[in-house]
């Protein structure tokens, strides 16, 4: 199992960039080289890119962290977390900060990110889907926050978007039980914005991308910035941010 190779295909086609998790033999299990490649790609995207699509190859999104990284018998694998624990707590905290980079980058309001979830998104897979602004799920897909069942916590920037999407109580129930959440429920509780038969995922994605890029790029970006920051601001702060952003928009639209 080669974990020196990123195992991810990164491409740009006009205004759409695609991150394809591409380790189908191990269900697109994730590892540090994959995260580094995705972070570098997202952090250096050209300004023209308006949408980032994240999906997995082979009919699944991602089975989460590559479990060989936490297998004490496999300390020779690149990025072994077992080996990492020889370092100080602060060094481990800093390293996990590096691993969180692509998850933070997916939330960058420079673009709208869409996770296309087929099969399942487990642990780090679920957190990568949560890092995206929008989720489209196949109707037979499921997600699972497996970490507590392994004695761990979700640490790849997934807890905040989960709480934002479904509220504290439902997020707690989903995480503490580590249960599978099916697509129908995911759609109903606001985890997925669209749930469609697997055969319709591509056409649904194409339609959504077309609608998302149909309007003025700056107006959509400024609106996204406002919405993304809304929950961390007071109403007065948000009102100020709205009118400040609108001045620039009015000048652009009216040419004054
Ligand atoms: N890491 C490494 N290899 C994995 C993997 C993972 N997370 N998930 C699956 N694979 C491998 C299997 O070992 C198997 O390899 P072999 O063909 O060499 O035997 C291959 O992928 C296919 O797996 P299955 O035969 O199990 O396929 P399936 O379709 O029947 O089941 C599955 C798929 C439900 C994902 C099941 O494999 C599974 O439960 N995998 C483990 C999921 C998991 O616990 N992930 C970690 C979550 S925690 C996390 O991500 C974050 C964190 O911080 C800890």
Task: Report how far residue 104's alpha carbon sits from residue 228's, in angstroms, rounded to the nearest whole number.
Answer: 13
Q: How far is the CA of 123 from the centre of ligand 1 (A)?
A: 11
Cβ 153 under 6 angstroms from ligand 1 = no
Cβ 31 under 6 angstroms from ligand 1 = no
pLDDT of residue 183: 98
What value of ipTM does the predicted structure carry?
Answer: 0.98
- Quote the DSSP letter at residue 45: -
pLDDT of residue 198: 96
Task: Report how far residue 168's alpha carbon sits from residue 154's, in angstroms, rounded to the nearest whole number.
Answer: 15
Per-residue pLDDT of the chain in tens (256 residues, 90 and over written 9): 677 799 999 999 999 999 999 999 999 999 999 999 999 999 999 999 999 999 999 999 999 999 999 998 987 888 888 888 999 999 999 999 999 999 999 999 999 999 999 999 999 999 999 999 999 999 999 999 999 999 999 999 999 999 999 999 999 999 999 999 999 999 999 999 999 999 999 999 999 999 999 999 999 999 999 999 999 999 999 999 999 999 999 999 999 8
Q: How far is the CA of 23 from the centre of ligand 1 (A)?
A: 11
Cβ 123 under 6 angstroms from ligand 1 = yes
pLDDT of residue 144: 98
Which ligand 1 atom lies nearest to the CA of residue 144?
47
Cβ 141 under 6 angstroms from ligand 1 = no
pLDDT of residue 3: 77
pLDDT of residue 78: 84
DSSP count for the chain of H helices, then E strands: 11, 9
| Residue 129 token pair | 């889907």
Contact indicator for 106, 40 with CB cutoff of 8 Å: no
């Amino acid at each position: 199992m080669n974990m020196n190779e990123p195992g991810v295909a990164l491409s740009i086609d006009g205004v759409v960039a695609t991150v394809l998790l591409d380790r189908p033999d191990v269900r697109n299990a994730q590892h540090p080289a994959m995260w580094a490649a995705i972070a570098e790609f997202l952090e250096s995207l050209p300004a023209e890119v308006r949408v980032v699509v994240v999906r997995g190859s082979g009919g699944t999104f991602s089975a989460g962290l590559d479990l060989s990284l936490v297998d004490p018998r496999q300390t020779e694998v690149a990025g072994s977390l077992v080996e990492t624990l020889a370092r100080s707590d602060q060094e481990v905290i800093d390293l996990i900060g590096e691993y969180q980079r692509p998850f933070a980058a997916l939330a960058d309001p420079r673009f709208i990110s869409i996770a296309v979830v087929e099969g399942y998104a487990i642990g780090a897979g679920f957190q990568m889907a949560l890092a995206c602004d929008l989720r489209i799920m196949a109707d037979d897909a499921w997600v699972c926050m497996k970490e507590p069942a392994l004695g761990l916590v979700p640490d790849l920037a997934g807890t905040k978007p989960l709480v934002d999407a479904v509220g504290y109580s439902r997020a707690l129930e989903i995480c503490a039980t580590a249960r599978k959440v099916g697509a129908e429920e995911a759609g109903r509780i606001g985890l997925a914005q669209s749930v469609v038969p697997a055969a319709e995922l591509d056409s649904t994605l194409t339609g959504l991308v077309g609608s998302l890029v149909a309007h003025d790029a700056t107006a959509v970006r400024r609106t996204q910035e406002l919405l993304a920051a809304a929950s961390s601001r007071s109403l007065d702060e948000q009102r100020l941010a709205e009118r400040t952003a609108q001045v620039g928009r009015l000048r652009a639209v009216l040419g004054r």
